[in-house]
Chains A and B, each alone.
Chain A
Amino acid sequence: MTRMTRKATRHTSQNEGLIFEKSSPGKAAFKLPPLDVPEVDAAQLLGSSERKDLGNMPEVSEIEIIRHFTRLSTWNYAIDLGMYPLGSCTMKYNPRVNEVVTRLPGLANGHPYQPEKISQGALRIIKTLSECLTEITGMEAITLQPAAGAHGELTGLLLVRGYLESKGNPRKKILIPDSAHGTNPATAATVGYAVENLKSNAQGMVDVPSLVAQMNEDVAALMLTNPNTLGVFEQEIHKIAEIMHAKGGLLYMDGANMNALVGKARPGDFGVDVMHLNLHKTFSTPHGGGGPGSGPVAVKQCLEPFLPKPVIVTKADGTLGFDYNRPQSVGRVRAFYGNFGMFTRALAYILANGPDGLRQTTEDAVLNANYIRKELEDVYDLPYSTPSMHEVVFSDKLQAKQGVKTGDIAKRLIDYGFHPYTVSFPLIVHGALMIEPTESESKQELDLFIEAMRSIAQEVQEEPQMVLEAPHHTRVSRLDEVAAARNPVLRWKPAAQ
């Protein structure tokens, strides 16, 4: 408790209630221009469909709104404040030029149904990004329609299903390693496939003999994350792809960890048939407190006919347009063309990097993870000694002896001025601490993090109870999540009612 932390200092933050608690009749933050057409009588136009009352909507002034949200914002941790080492989430710097280009008027105000003739700029952005991502992944075609990673997974499995159906049998099962993200099995179920678990071997990789035993003509695909959630590259990837292909199955790659590969290796070259990317991870679009994301799906040529429609084409006159005539398409997964605003951001990131920058980025991400691993492996248990790529997974085995678990260490890290790492995932590591620094951290910031983690390890030995009660310096202490779920209060209601 008395230990000094170099990263952060406590300072006063503003209290703020709910916006509804500031509301009172007659206050307003809007002003509409005078109407340039005749007024109408809503009751006459709408009859019984006219709404009389908007309930408990707030009435506040502009300065109150600015203060309200600014105060709330100061209660968040953010990449802009410091290292955000969430494993598998790739919390890298979100460049500001991305935000500016996205707000250029022609792009921000472009209507999705405006004529193609006056949409050439947007179409060119889609086409250029598609080409860049196809090259980066080593694949042959792509759709940008999916709105997030899980939505990309869904699209990818629909493509698998469409392809296999065209061959006469969609098959029944998807194989998923026990180290996979929860979205993988949830997605397989959404697409109507049964999920079969595939166990990992002692090195934390796919157990190839198990794969051989489980692969048969009922299996549509294997969903593999590579590097996997332990941050380990699947060294037998070529065998894995061969085993799948020999029995007519496909290899799906979850691209959540693509930040370890860009410019260094391409999934298309190592046998992947279909994969999704997360533009909000690898390509620097902001996480925004949980979204929006974007989950493009890249495929080999054999899956191209099945891509969601429309697809972008160059027309006879050289202009760009959409092609809706796609008889084998799996259909649409979203209205319009996807999260276009994320395409502009991701493309701006790629242009800012170029081939040399993208490669250096990957190298720095891997360097940072290995540096943390080296500097912490004597105080935290390393369950798998297999080399790490862009993230490292420790366990709380040494600290658990004092009754302190990964979640407690994470909460204490907050007091040191850092956001916690990913807690208790992947599931194959009991008490996992999953740390992904990304390339965006300087050596100084990494050293502060290492110092904090070492200091906490010492605190666990000396004053475990203090760690168990962390965080100590936040606005709120640990919150009662059990009560929140047992008696859900999901909205504000006025006290008087």
Chain B
Amino acid sequence: MRYLPKSPTDREAMLKAIGARSIHELFEPIPAQYRLKRDLNVPRQMAESEIMDWFDQCSRENGDEYSIFLGAGAYYHYRPVIIDSLISRGEFLTAYTPYQPEVSQGTLQSIFEFQTMISELTGMEVANASMYDGSTASTEAVLMATRLTGRRSVTVARSLHPEYREVLATYAWHQGIRLSTASFGENGRINLKEFDKSLTPDTACILIQSPNFLGTIEDVAAVADIAHKHGALLVVAIAEAVSLGIVEPPRQADIIAMEAQSFGVPLGFGGPYCGVIATREQYVRQMPGRLVGQTTDRKGKRGFVLTLATREQHIRREKATSNICTNQALVALMANIFMTVYGKVGLKELAKQNLAKTAYAASKFGKHARMLFASAPRFNEFVVETKEDPYAINHRLLGHKIVGGFPLKKFLPELGNAALWCCTEMTSRTAIDTAAGVLRESEATEPARETAEVAR
């Protein structure tokens, strides 16, 4: 086997040194009836070229030449090539968690820079080294809020990513945390009056997303005022990190749970992505996940270490702030390099291009179909309501090598034939014009029968 660095002679010499007659002797601690006496039923050993062929085939069956208008929590942005050059360095790729700081300063310093940039961009004071993804970061941020307040109820915006909501519901159920929902209004923003009424003295926090799942930018200041008036914390999820280049960050939030996938992380069919939690300094001891801090060595030289570990499972066991251990370090490094490449000026220009493409697409689509939630500002997503089932429209778009918007009925049935469209700097004017053309034809004719199964 080509990954194994031993000759038969080596193995024999080692067995002899151990004093074992054969390798089987070393497996005798396993009771005989449980020792496997046959080959595993897995594919035979393949050559590297065969492995490449097998995955090439899968790649081709996975639609590698489409223009996509899908966002909904996973965004297609350009990835500067130096990201992969740098993260492919074995010293980053094949290192463990930096528990031994003297031989891990590279990883530690890069995480310290990541924490700094996330803090700058979110307007928070501190950020952690990463969480699994935006959905689990949001959930952990809510759990953090319940610990900070000692309260056990949570209000969740219906305009939060539906899969984030589902993850929170899974965790909350078993922790006895009560969840209630705050709906959105005509402009796509959280319904403030209803939200105000839903808060009780037991409300630990309100969890919203901005830009929210419908693409609308929330009035975070107004939501924060209401939450704080009731002594509750405000947790804001951010699923589209590039928005931070041009959209004012939710500075009034107490905790921000972010998905950093947009920062140079491939779509990769849904993962691995990069969650992050950012918050105020006063709350840091209830923060889950790893943190890197600056310190000095015995000679006074600057260095970095994992710190505040008394929050974590390997020290506190069942009293830890979370059970998280492995995080998304290498993906955080991708995000780190992305933020460094674009920097202070580039992130803004990039975000502005997203804004321009989206404004153009919305104006084109708006001529043929109804735009929902158009009265509040948005970043790079918008909702289009059509007469025809969006699955049927998407089916036709596939013929033009275009993946259309996300049909919202899957999660929000009350929105009927509405679909969520997304444009980024990668979306070409040609693709937008083609999609608008298909939409025009579709809306000009009588809607076909329900074709929900057509193009899922």
Contact = CB atoms under 8 A, between A and B. Distances in A.
A348 B20 CA distance: 33
Interface string A220-237: 000000000000110101
B320 A186 contact: yes
B448 interface: no
B64 A109 contact: yes
Contacts of A478: 102, 297-298
Nearest to A387: B29
B429 A37 contact: yes
Chain B CB count within 10 A is highest, among A19, A86, A192, A375, for A19
A475 interface: yes
B353 interface: yes
Given A289-B107, A290-B107, A489-B293, A97 B52 contact: yes
B322 interface: yes
B94 A335 contact: no
A158 B170 contact: yes
A110 B267 CA distance: 6
B270 A337 contact: yes
Contact of B398 (A103, A118, A485): A118
- Which size class do A's interface residues fall under? 35 or more
Pick the 3 closest A-B CB pairs, nearest first: A288-B330, A336-B270, A354-B45
Given A109-B76, A334-B133, A370-B20, A340 B26 contact: no
A251 B307 CA distance: 35
Contacts of B50: 351
Interface in A345-365: 348, 350-361, 363-364
Contacts of B101: 476, 479, 481
Given A367-B26, A476-B105, 19 more contacts: A37-B360, A69-B92, A73-B106, A104-B58, A119-B269, A135-B42, A235-B31, A264-B27, A265-B34, A288-B93, A336-B270, A340-B268, A352-B45, A414-B102, A425-B314, A481-B101, A490-B127, A490-B293, A491-B126
B346 A28 contact: yes
A378 interface: no
B30 to A, nearest CB: 5
B92 A483 contact: no
Nearest to B132: A147
Contacts of B51: 97, 101, 348, 351-352
B326 A150 contact: yes
Interface stretch (A87-95, A206-214, A242-250, A451-459): A87-95
Contacts of A153: 323
A439 B11 CA distance: 12
A350 B313 contact: no
B297 A476 contact: yes
Contact of B91 (A46, A81, A353): A81
Interface stretch (B79-87, B149-157, B190-198, B437-445): B79-87
A147 B41 CA distance: 26
Given A265-B34, A291-B326, A121 B59 contact: yes
A291 B292 CA distance: 15
22 contacts: A20-B113, A72-B106, A99-B93, A147-B133, A147-B271, A186-B317, A188-B318, A233-B30, A288-B94, A289-B107, A292-B331, A333-B136, A341-B268, A351-B54, A355-B39, A367-B11, A389-B29, A471-B102, A474-B103, A476-B102, A477-B298, A480-B297
B23 interface: yes
B327 A290 contact: yes
Contact of A135 (B41, B166, B428): B41
Interface in B343-402: 343-350, 352-353, 355-357, 359-360, 377, 394, 398
B76 to A, nearest CB: 7
B213 to A, nearest CB: 11
Chain B CB count within 10 A is highest, among A149, A195, A367, A419, for A367
B323 A150 contact: yes
Interface in A50-64: 50-51, 54-60, 62
B398 A117 contact: yes
B245 interface: yes
A337 B329 CA distance: 19
A357 B1 contact: yes
Contact of B34 (A80, A237, A321): A237
B98 A290 contact: yes
Contacts of B307: 481, 484-485, 488, 490
B339 to A, nearest CB: 7
A400 interface: no
A375 B63 contact: no
Given A105-B64, A414-B100, A190 B270 contact: no
Nearest to B85: A66
Interface string B314-344: 1111111011111111110100010111111
B322 A57 contact: no
